[in-house]
Amino acid sequence: MSGWRLDRGGEIDRDRPIGFTFDGHAVTGFAGDTLASALLASGRRVLGRSFKYHRPRGLWGAGAEEPNAIVDVTEGGVTTPNLRATLEPLREGLALRSVNTWPEAARDRHRLLDRLNRFLPAGFYYKTFMAGGWMRWEPMIRRMAGLGRLDPANAPPADCAQINARADLLVIGAGPAGLAAARAAARAGRAVWLIDDGDAPGGSLRWRGGDIDGGPWRDWCADTQERILRAGGKILSRTTLWGAFDHGLYAAWERRCGAPDRLWRIRAGDVILAAGAIERPLWFANNDLPGVISAEAALRYLTLHGAVAGRRIVLATGNDGSYPVAAALARAGCDVTLADARGDTPDAPEGVDLRRETRVTGAEGRDAVARVRLNGVLQEADTLLVSGGLTPSVHIFMQAGGRLDWDAECDALIPRAGSASMRVAGAANGAFALADALAEGHAAAGGAGNAPRAEAAGDWGVLPMRPDPDAAGRQWIDFQNDVTLKDVALAQREGFVSVEHLKRYTTLGMATDQGRTSNFAGLAAMAGLTDRSIPETGTTTYRPPFLPVPLTVIAGRRRGQLFDPPRRLTLERAHRAAGAQLREYGGWLRPAHYGDDEAEAALREAGVARETVALYDASPLGKIEVIGPGAAELLDFCFFTRLSTLKPGRARYGLMLSETGIVFDDGVTLRLAGDRFIVSASSSHVDGVRLRLEDARQDRFDPARVFLHDVTAHWTTLCVAGPRARDVLRAAGVPVDLDDAALPHMGVTEADWNGRTLRIARVSFTGERSYELSVPSRHAEWLESLLAARVGEAGGGRIGLEAVLTLRAQKGFILIGKDTDGLTMPQDLGWPNRREDEFIGKRSLLTDEALRNDRRQLVGLTATDGGAAFTAGAHLVPLDAARRSLGFVTSVAPDPGAPHALALLESGRSRMGESVGVFDNGAVREARVIAPCAFDAKGERLHA
Amino acid sequence: MQIFPCPFCGPRDEREFHFATEAGKPRPEPADKVSAEDWAAYLYANEAPRGEAREVWLHLTCGEYFVMTRDTLTREVKGSETLPGRRA
């Protein structure tokens, strides 16, 4: 126990205590706390166990850079894994669970694993667990390593809005540089979007304070915000800009209290990056012990939350930025020793024991810091604050394609001006001192006049601090992924000297941490080991997201029913009222069958169509109108089947190919007049067929002579099929001459039915006498109720798609993509080419491949063992030769009296009457090869 | 997410577009005069240049095909035009 709480100060409300639990222990914080600040003030130090060695880990940082304090949070019975305690506001009713621990962080049962560390170097898993196969060991390793646990019950609502926005000027970060930039732009009348991941604008001013333009920074900050809003700008707090994408697109994640998060997609004109910098750790023996904390973070907790990291504090540093931290802690009543590695330092702050030329060489303690070794001498301390310098936050700049240059003065890689389409200002650019940050922000926005003034901060003296490979003890480079300096050295010895290889081999900078605190140390260590400079060593690639973004935010509302919404029939309500069970077919929600028992219902309904008359909804069938004097010419080129010879008032079945000769779609085309066709593309292929027609229309023909119009959704088509179909239409009073001489099979006619347009096509997908009646969809319910009543009187009924699919399989009518695959050409379906003129796919029908005589061809199969229907997908195999696939079953008609199957079979048409094996659910059954059509081969029922 | 200029509709989000083909590939025909090599090249061989590319794209929402010139490396869009002989 070392952390404690001040009696006053900070932005918390001490009148509103909030209780929560951590690993089952009760903890109290206050409104305004983050989970991290409440835990720090509670004195709890072991907050988790490390990824690999299960070493105790405590709080390190105060923001997105936090590598250790990652918790599973249960709220309202739902657990969300791997939340950063530093980013989550404290609220009522939370239960926190440390990650990778059992039963709890403080008493983890795998804690002894750390003693085996010398046997677990980098690459240990790769080298060791190949014996017997990785799959054998993986479950055990997964249990012992990793982060939080997924809660299968956690199905968060799809309520994250995603908002597209445009910004003339986007300023990323509302610290001093960002505020100065936004202020200058607002003064010039620009509408600025200012985005910041803190609770309120101010950035480091909020904990470092300072006077700007002669007054308190808060006044200046409030005035700046007012100016931004007055100029039409926008300020988003608690919003992390996490990704830069092509053409000036930026993604931001807004966290809102008591409301769903939001994703902003911002298309920005100009961008100024003022994302600040992240403090580096220091490297010494046991530098990962709980109680070793970023100095900057300690100041932030002290100022914002009144949470003090400890009582006997050692602060180890090599830069001026740590002096205000030491001063503030001393004022708060802490015993502070300031160990500065430099000889030439500023004066000691009041009440601070300053030791010059002093480095920390080790930390000791069982589960947390108890003693600190300074220049080799042990000193009692409960907390060790460290500052190894600052790493500019250049992630967004790098995602946008930027380059970095080494800047020795600030001891960091900083953005190369002009290498990405954004300007960078402030600490993100290496300008750490307040006055410099203000000046850079002002200049980046092209500010007129003087930049905002701050007290001269002097130069930000920085002594480069580096990991020392010769120092004793284990020095952690990457806290989250448990990578030590020795691992980096091992990688170097084994030849993994590229930083990208180093990363993959040691896991340095991987996972949710992405090297925010570790990357610099890793590449600095590798640079030292290979005698290269840091810029020569390079950096790994920066990719979005900057920090883990919940998948709920990225998915937004496009989940569940909205993920891929099916298209709905105009008559869905009527179908449901009639007892239909709906299912998705090719993107449409359609009646599958009526009643509960699917298999029974589908057979019964198929019988209705064969015996009396059936009614089903065929509306999803494509209806692409092709209109104009060039219509016939366009269709001739796009279809395998010639359509210009079709007479008006007639319909023709045809195939459409790809240029590769593969069958792309099939369907019936109606010709209503010389210059007017309707292409009935397959229900799921309508868009594809339309775009192919458009392609040829625009790129080959005169688009002024032919026009395409997809009216699929405008019309409702009901199909009346069965021996009594014509009786039903007559009883319904259809105003058309239904005599077969006037309206034969494959005939089409249009009529006016009391002011309603009606189109009737005699097209049969079932093999029965069949009438497709189409009306504009506003008349759908009228037509459906009329036909349903007459069908009922004729002894028939409604049928679903399952029955229709059975009926068509019995007839050998194919479904593209089910009875054909990506190799099927028209001749495989029994349609050799007879055309002389040009059409899409023609040349491919002349290739050697197309002319092979052992192509897979469409056939029918009948079981000769008297067994049940075959299973679709079952492979066909030789009965008396070595087993190999000759093809497969594509469709089945499961009529128990006469089960029939369609199949693609090698040289199928030359095997008619032969037997073939069907490898069906593990057993080889025998089948006879027959014609695809197994029912009414002469088509007499079409005219019955 | 890129922004592409449809000659008919103006700048739109890339999700509204489909790539169609590289520009300037005439269809070899008549079929019975085209060698297998030429046909295979037409179907499958693409320049896929690193840098400036001329491509035919489809703007799905208006249904118009057009030619776009863009840099495949920098993602810069140089411009777009209608198919030859068409007017926006």
Percent share of chain A, pLDDT over 70: 99
Q: How far apart are CA A881 and CA A862, in angstroms?
A: 21
Residues A479-488 have a mean pLDDT of 91
Residues A289 and A380 in one domain: yes
CATH topology of domain B1-24+50-88: Folate-binding fold (3.30.2270)
**Chain A residues touching B32 at Cβ < 8 A:** 846
A121: pLDDT confidence band, cut at 50, 70 and 90? confident
Q: List chain B residues with pLDDT less than 50.
A: none
What ipTM does the predicted assembly reach? 0.97
Q: What is the pLDDT of residue A456?
A: 64
Least confident among A20-34, A48-62, A174-188: A48-62
Contact A265 B1 (CB under 8 A): yes
User: What's the burial of A226, exposed, middle or buried (CB within 10 Å: 0-12/13-18/19+)?
Assistant: exposed
The pLDDT, as a whole number, for residue A481 is 86
Residue of A943, A936, A620, A607 whose CA lies nearest to A797: A607
Can you name the residues that pair with A404 across neighbouring β-strands?
A415
- A494-504 confidence digits (pLDDT tens): 999 898 999 98
Smallest Cβ distance to A247: which of B39, B65, B75? B75
A172 and A271 part of one domain: yes
Residue A695 is nearest to which of B1, B14, B20, comparing CB atoms? B20
Tokens (6 digits) for A887: 């093809």
pLDDT single digits (tens) A428-442 = 999 999 999 999 999
Give per-residue pLDDT as tens, A822-867. 999 999 999 999 999 999 999 999 999 999 999 999 999 999 988 8
* Set of chain B residues whose Cβ sits within 8 Å of the Cβ of A686: none
B84 to chain A, any CB pair closer than 8 A? The answer is: no
A657 Cβ contact list (under 8 Å, min separation 6):
A640, A663, A664, A825, A826, A839, A840, A841, A844, A845
**CATH code, domain with A891:** 2.40.30.110
Nearest chain A residue to B3 by CA: give it.
Answer: A247
Q: Are A438 and A451 in contact (CB under 8 A)?
A: yes
Same structural domain for residues A751 and A864? no
The nearest CA of chain A is from the CA of B72 a distance in Å of 12
Q: Which of B30, B39, B60 sits opposite A838 (nearest CB)?
A: B30
Beta strands in A762-845, from DSSP E residues, in sequence order: 770-776, 797-798
Compute the mean pLDDT over every residue in chain A, rounded to the nearest whole number: 94
Q: A540 CA to chain B: closest CA distance, Å?
A: 20
A847: which chain B residues are within 8 Å (Cβ-Cβ)? 36, 39
Establish, for the pair of chains A and B, how many residue pairs have beta carbons separated by less than 8 Å. Answer: 54
B29 touches A at CB < 8 Å = yes
Residue A149 falls within a domain, yes or no?
no
- Among A13-27, A139-153, A554-568, B3-17, the range scoring the smallest mean pLDDT is A139-153
Cα A609 from Cα A811, distance rounded (Å): 13
Q: A608 lies in which domain range?
A: 567-619+714-808
User: Which of A698, A705, A834, A843 to probe the B interface (max B CBs under 10 A)?
Assistant: A843
Find the CATH number of the domain harbouring A321. 3.50.50.60
Q: Are residues A702 and A759 in the same domain?
A: no
Are residues A166 and A268 part of one domain? yes
Residue A849, chain B, CB below 8 Å: the answer is no
* Angle made by CA atoms B26, B29, B35, in degrees to the nearest 5: 100
CA-closest candidate to residue A47, choices A33, A29, A67, A63: A67
Amino acid at A273: L
Residues of B in contact with A843 (CB under 8 A): 28-29, 31, 34, 39
List the single range of A15-29, A140-154, A578-592 with lowest mean pLDDT.
A140-154
- Cβ-based neighbours of A650, under 8 Å, separated by 6 or more: A670, A671, A746, A747, A748
CB contact under 8 A, B43 and A694: no
Minimal CA separation from A701 to chain B, in Å = 11
For A816-876, where are the alpha helices, taking DSSP H only?
A: 848-851
Per residue in A33-91, pLDDT (tens digit) is 999 999 999 999 999 988 888 899 999 999 999 999 999 999 988 888 999 999 999 99
Q: How many helices (H) and strands (E) does chain B have?
A: 1, 6
Read off the pLDDT of residues A260-307 as tens digits, 9 standing for 90 and up: 999 999 999 999 999 999 999 999 999 999 999 999 999 999 999 999
Contact between A65 and A8 under an 8 Å Cβ cutoff? The reply is no
pLDDT at A189: 96
Beta bridge partners of A775: A716
Is the CB of A846 less than 8 angstroms away from the CB of B28? no
B5 Cα to chain A: minimum distance (Å)? 12
The position carrying tokens 């014609």 is A931
Chain B residue numbers touching A700 (CB-CB < 8 A)? 27
* Candidate from B1, B32, B64 with C-beta closest to A247: B1
Distance to chain A for B56, nearest Cα, Å: 10
What's the predicted TM-score (pTM) here? 0.89
What pLDDT is recorded for position A931?
96
> What's CA A647's distance to the chain center, in Å?
52
How close is the nearest chain B Cα to the Cα of A279, in Å? 33
Instruction: Say how many domains are in chain A.
Output: 6
| pLDDT the model gives residue A296 | 97
Per residue in A552-561, pLDDT tens? Answer: 999 999 988 8
A365 and A289 share one domain? yes
CA distance B48 to A613: 57
User: Nearest 5 degrees, angle CA A140-CA A144-CA A150?
Assistant: 95
Question: Considering only A179-193, A382-396, A534-548, B58-72, which range has the smallest mean pLDDT?
Answer: A534-548
What confidence tier does A135 reach under pLDDT thresholds 50, 70, 90? confident
Going by C-beta distance under 8 Å and a sequence separation of 6 or more, which residues neighbour residue A329? A298, A299, A302, A308, A309, A313, A315, A336
Domain co-membership, A605 together with A638: no
Mark whether A747 and A615 lie in a shared domain: yes
Q: Which of A508, A530, A552 is the last residue of a domain?
A: A530
Least CA distance to B11: which residue of chain A?
A247
Domain layout of chain B by residue ranges = 1-24+50-88
Q: What number of CA atoms fall less than 13 Å from residue A919's CA on the CB side?
A: 12
What residues contact residue A447 under an 8 Å CB cut-off, 6+ apart? A180, A181, A183, A184, A185, A187, A188
pLDDT at site B86: 81
Contacts of A848 in chain B (CB under 8 A): 36
Same domain, A612 and A729: yes
Bridge-partner residues for A591, per DSSP? Answer: A582
Same domain, A429 and A488: no
Q: Give the contacts of A120 (CB within 8 A, at least 6 positions apart).
A: A52, A53, A113
Q: How far is B76 from chain A (nearest CA, A)?
A: 8
Distance between CA atoms of residues A697 and A127, nearest Å = 61
Nearest CA in chain B to A421: B74
Q: What is the pLDDT of residue A110?
A: 79
Please say if the pLDDT value at position A141 is more than 90: no
Alpha helices in chain B (DSSP H): 36-44
The pLDDT of A362-369, averaged and rounded, is 94
| B86 in reach of chain A (CB within 8 A) | yes
Per-residue confidence band for A924, with pLDDT thresholds at 50, 70 and 90: very high
Residue A850: phi and psi, rounded to 5, are: -70, -25
Last residue of a domain, one of A808, A833, A868: A808
* Subunit contact B65:A695, Cβ cutoff 8 A: yes
CA distances (Å), origin A164, targets A161, A250, A252, A915 = 10, 10, 11, 62
A542: in domain: no
A781 in a structural domain: yes
Cβ atoms of A64 and A84 within 8 Å: the answer is yes
Q: Do the beta carbons of residue A707 and residue A715 sit within 8 Å? A: no
User: pLDDT at position A458, please?
Assistant: 57
Whether A258 and A341 map to the same domain: the answer is no
* B19, B21, B65: best to mutate for the A interface, most A CBs within 10 A: B65
Helix residue ranges, H only, A332-478:
395-399, 434-444
pLDDT score for A459: 62
Last residue of a domain, one of A710, A737, A760: A710
CA distance A250 to chain B (A): 9
